[in-house]
Amino acid sequence: MAAGQNIVFGLDIGGSGVKGAPVDVSSGMLAGDRFRVPTPQPATPAAVAGVVAEVTAHFDWSGPVGATFPAVVKQGTALTAANVDGSWIGTDINAVLGETTGCRVTAVNDADAAGIAEMAFGAGRDRSGVVVMTTLGTGIGTAVFLDGRLLPNTELGHLEIDGYDGETRASDSAREREGLSWDDWAERLTRYLRHLEDLLWPDLIILGGGVSKKANKYLSSLRVRTEVVPATLLNNAGIVGAALAAVTDPVAQGFAGSQRLGSSQG
């Protein structure tokens, strides 16, 4: 499948799975069914690149590819490694994945990608001011936007709260690991979100990750001053955001609304 007008391939590389699909970046809709392959263990650069090549080959893809990656990513290079092998640190993600797929690859932090998608097509669309996207899963990822412009690679899930790394207490994995009720977990999430509020004074907080589709179980129990809403793109956010990042510089141009994207495709 070759890239057509407004169609770009999005990859979401996670600790448990690598999934991808072609994306219509003018609408934020997938242009085909997602295809997923388990993340290899250990998740070394060579092993992950092989799986990524399998996913793109499934679609016979030959155009540009955007890829999320669970790390701080600067100019395509991984500077940390979360839920993948430590040998990724210092690795040029774009080059490694580009060599195995034969495509031009643009890698972006996974939480940033989810935030990009929500700002363009989801809960953050047309919202100004400070918007914080949180992805609540194995850890806590964050993406921060000011008037639609991304501040990349924020690692606010690692804020120290009450002597603990924030994500070790308030992530969805912590809820499952400790068998917390939704109300008990909401208390911990409230503590974390209040800390974010005191530091950033956001105008909107978007809760993403798998628990966003269960917002009715805990949203009303959160006690914060900021408007809090669940993400709307759910499990497609990473794929969509990665595709957008491949065609529009998320730092230089921002993602205040999807109307900015059409011109990038000519």
Q: Return per-residue pLDDT of the chain as tens, 266 residues.
A: 656 679 999 999 998 899 999 999 999 999 999 999 999 999 999 999 999 999 999 999 999 999 999 999 999 999 999 889 999 999 999 999 999 999 999 999 999 999 999 999 999 999 999 999 999 998 999 999 999 999 999 999 999 999 999 999 999 999 999 999 999 999 999 999 999 999 999 999 999 998 999 999 999 999 999 999 999 998 899 999 999 999 987 655 444 444 444 433 33
Q: Which has the closest alpha carbon to 102: 137, 71, 64?
A: 64
Q: Which has the closest alpha carbon to 55: 33, 28, 73, 72?
A: 33
What are the contacts of 173-182 at 24+ separation with CB within 8 A? Answer: 173/137, 173/138, 173/139, 175/211, 182/217, 182/218, 182/221
Total number of residues shown for the chain: 266
Q: How many CB atoms lie within 10 A of CB 213?
A: 13
The answer to whether the beta carbons of residues 112 and 131 sit under 8 Å apart is: no
Q: Catalogue all structural domains in the chain, each as residue range(s) with its CATH number.
A: 7-109 (3.30.420.40), 123-232 (3.30.420.40)
Distance from CA of residue 233 to its chain's centroid?
A: 11
Output the CA angle 198-151-80, nearest 5 degrees. Answer: 100
User: What six digits make up the tokens of 189?
Assistant: 């999430």
Q: Which has the closest alpha carbon to 22: 244, 231, 210?
A: 244
The pTM is what? 0.91
Tell me, what's the pLDDT at 253? 46
Separation of alpha carbons 92 and 207, rounded Å: 30
Tell me, what's the pLDDT at 3? 61
Residue 253: partners with Cβ closer than 8 Å, 6 or more residues away: 149, 260
User: What six digits make up the tokens of 185?
Assistant: 């977990």
